[in-house]
Amino acid sequence: MSSKAEQNFLLKEQIINASSAGLIGISCVYPLNLMRFMLQSKPVTIDKERTYKKLFNCGREIFGRHGLRGLYNGFTVNAFFITPEKTIKLVVNDYLCAKLQTKDEPLSLYQRMLAGAGAGTCQLIVTVPMELLIIRNVTTTGSGADIEITSAWRHGMENIRQKNFLGLYKGAVATWNRDVFFSMIYFPLFAYLNNRGRSLETDKVPFYHTLMSGICAGAVSAYVATPLDVIKTRIQSGDPKFKNAYNGVIDCAKYV
């Protein structure tokens, strides 16, 4: 197999792996993702009372009112965008790592962080509209402890009619802050943890070790990036209480 054919094969393999992992992952954890958006965008009611006491209190109330359908409200949007998002993120990171590597020397921490930053930046073209539509779709009624089952696509079309396609990129700067920061931590940390399990005999890493490395790296990165994620969600929120309330990321950070 020629070098070019081998590269094309690896690219197809990366796309298939990223797409499969993205769809399987989001299918399993989407309810948690929805609860995250609810807790971040609806922290209090009009009477200044906490909308939800805890994460699973939020899930229990949604399930009690709307059943399983409520926990997967907006799932089709996420499923539609998740394939290109994960593909862009993983392929760009691998591509930049290959370009930054010199001879047979391993990549430095700085180079891996730079590759991660590039991947986080490129995925914005998909991530911003995807999360904006999901957040706008999570609306409250009454006391704020309920959600309205609506179509995220309808919200997207309304956004386009009102503000053209640029309306789908509200909160792009805040999303960039979060995604770049997350990726600069995740990819170097995952590479470090994953290499710790590499066998000296076969030069391969067991699947279970790669899985645990991804879980640990993702948990640490998500925890550290949570403040930036909250700011991003508040800015993108369609709740009238937050409409035009923040003048950018720094202003939002003061009042969160």
Q: Are residues 243 and 137 in the same domain?
A: no
- Residue 100 and residue 44: Cα distance in Å, rounded? 47
CA–CA separation, 164 and 157 (whole Å): 9
Q: Is 138 exposed, middle or buried (0-12, 13-18, 19+ CB in 10 A)?
A: buried
Are residue 240 and residue 225 in the same domain, yes or no? Answer: yes
Same domain, 126 and 184: no
For residue 121, the model assigns a pLDDT of 96
Regarding whether 175 and 161 lie in a shared domain, the answer is: no
pLDDT of residue 142: 36
Q: What is the SS3 assignment for 147?
A: strand
Q: Does residue 177 sit in the same domain as residue 163?
A: no
Both 46 and 125 in a single domain? yes
Q: Does residue 51 share a domain with residue 149?
A: yes
Do 198 and 97 fall into the same domain? no
**Contact, 231 vs 256, CB < 8 A?**
yes
220 with 129, same domain: the answer is: no
Of the residues 151, 169, 187, which one is the last residue of a structural domain?
169
* Predicted local distance difference test score (pLDDT) of residue 44: 54
* Tens-digit pLDDT string for the chain (256 aa): 445 544 554 777 778 888 888 888 888 889 988 888 888 876 555 455 566 677 788 888 888 888 888 888 878 888 888 888 988 999 899 889 988 988 778 899 999 999 999 999 999 999 998 888 888 777 543 344 445 545 566 666 666 666 677 778 888 999 999 999 999 999 999 999 999 988 877 878 998 999 999 999 999 999 999 999 999 988 888 554 444 567 778 888 877 6
CATH of the domain at 76: 1.50.40.10
In this structure, are residues 78 and 54 in contact, taking their beta carbons and an 8 Å threshold? no
Domain boundary (143, 169, 195) is at: 169
48 and 113 both lie in a single domain:
yes
Boundary-marking domain end, from 169, 188, 212: 169
Domain span at 121: 1-169
Whether residue 140 contacts residue 73, with contact meaning beta carbons closer than 8 Å, is answered with no
- pLDDT on residue 212: 94
Residue 43: its pLDDT value, please?
58
Q: CA 59 to CA 35: how far, in whole Å?
A: 6
DSSP secondary structure letter of residue 35? H
Judging by beta carbons within 10 Å of its beta carbon (0-12, 13-18, 19+), is residue 144 exposed, middle or buried? buried
Number of domains the chain is built from: 2
Residues 163 and 44 in one domain: yes
Regarding whether 50 and 17 lie in a shared domain, the answer is yes
CA distance from start to end of the chain: 55
